Amino acid sequence: MGQPSFMDYDVLIIGGGPAGAIAALELSRGGAKVLVIERTRFPRFHVGESFLPKCLDLIRSLGLEPALRRLPHMVKLGAEFGIGNSLETTRFPFSLGLDGGRNETFNIERAAFDKMLLDSAREAGAEVIEDSSVRSVLRLSDGDVAINVDGRELTGRYLVDASGQAAVVGKHLGTHKVFAHHRKVAYFGHFHNVKRLDGDEEGYPTVAICDEGWFWLIPIDPQRTSIGLVMDADAAKRVGIPAPQMLAWGIARCPLVADRTLNARCPETNHVAADFSYTCRPYAGPGYFLVGDASLFLDPIFSTGICLGMVAAEEAAKLIGKLLREEIRPSAARRRHDRVVRAGSNVFFKFIDYYYQHSFRELFLHGQGPAQVHRAIISVLAGHVFPKLRFGLRWRLKLFDWMVRWHRRRPLVANRERFSLLAQNVEPDCDREAWSAGASFESSCGAEAEVLR
């Protein structure tokens, strides 16, 4: 094949988050010589604390469930959605899904979870260097890749880009394309003593909907809850207050979230992150495979991004293992990886487009539908879309698509009042009072940008 006689590694992996760590773990267990280059040092703060049942399936298949169970976490058996101006919500237990898949998953602090995965990759034999940055991509071809890491050239036979929103390979190749109609900004932090649901629903994440975007409330352990506000970027500009105070501004104007945080201890400021959906297609090419946010980024409404990244990472590792053993042609491996990423992302992108339409929100929150269409939606939102949608889910989603379009003209369910944060009349002093009333612990949030997943 004309490959160089010596390579530093079989596989170079940019990024040590869940996607990169899973790829490293799988490849190392298969005997490959793997290097993970991580620009930060673990543990580190990260959002994206809510996982889909498909993620727990993967953790179990990797033999990591005992390690997961030892970490502080919350059992997640479903999710809760509602319009932000009402305390009434619709709850979706995963047990109502049509596919027969697992109904349980978890919420967890990402710092501890991500470190557990990366440590597992190390234990399997992967070499990991932290506090190191990929300066440039030097070569990309099947069997021969090279990157510049802090001024040093490193070579390998294949490259896995798990660099998150840095999207190292996509930006190098010029394939990084942002969707102009999905330009969002997110404000978030960790809270103590937020009011929760009872019993088996205690771990349900809550999504509170408004015209400008949505809030998340994710219980991540028995004491702490991750809370965030995702807003349309143009709407956020019209607010006119400092970005580190935007979450306080939003909570003061949203009755559902204000009720849940009434007796909570709050951080003094919030993190800020750009939340722009994009793709870097094709998701595989000569010498490289893209996984996680390095391949694409979806609005995190349904916690789908990390699920897609973990599944794609496992698939990429299996394909690269076959390439190293010369059991598959590079072109065939690229096509298979691209299909896996597209299969998951296409259906999720469609749901995200729907989500910002009020007609979809009304039908979705109704929670029921003909021909068990609501159960098909729950299955999709549980992540059971790999390797492709089953026929029983596919035709029901087409039916739901028709229902959304018909509902715009003739109501199929009761209409719901729209809710706008910008339209709420709240005195500025009330914002600070509500925010700081319980702020008795040191803020874990700053104004620096973080990556959403």
- Give the CATH number of the domain where residue 429 resides: 3.30.9.100
**pLDDT the model gives residue 135:** 97
Q: Which of 351, 382, 398 is the last residue of a domain?
A: 351
**pLDDT the model gives residue 385:** 83
Amino acid (one-letter) located at 311:
V
- Residue pointed to by tokens 């040093």: 152
**pLDDT the model gives residue 427:** 62
**pLDDT the model gives residue 181:** 76
Give the whole-angstrom CA distance, residue 59 versus residue 54: 9
Model confidence pLDDT, tens digit, residues 229-265: 999 999 999 999 999 999 999 999 999 999 999 999 9
Residue 293 shares a structural domain with residue 323: yes
Segments of the chain scoring below 50 in pLDDT:
1-5, 429-453
Structural domains counted in the chain: 3
**pLDDT the model gives residue 6:** 66
**pLDDT the model gives residue 101:** 62
Residue 162 shares a structural domain with residue 62: yes
Residue 380 shares a structural domain with residue 341: no
**pLDDT the model gives residue 448:** 35
Q: Which of 351, 367, 397 is the last residue of a domain?
A: 351
Q: Which of 351, 368, 397 is the last residue of a domain?
A: 351
- Residue pointed to by tokens 């390979």: 169
Residue 286 shares a structural domain with residue 430: no
**218 lies in which domain range?**
180-275+417-436
Residue at 446 is within a domain: no
**pLDDT the model gives residue 389:** 84
Distances (CA, A) of 443 to 67, 181, 213, 411: 29, 33, 25, 46
Give the whole-angstrom CA distance, residue 39 versus residue 34: 16
**pLDDT the model gives residue 384:** 84
Model confidence pLDDT, tens digit, residues 332-381: 999 999 999 998 888 888 888 888 899 999 999 999 999 999 999 999 88
- 42: which DSSP letter? S
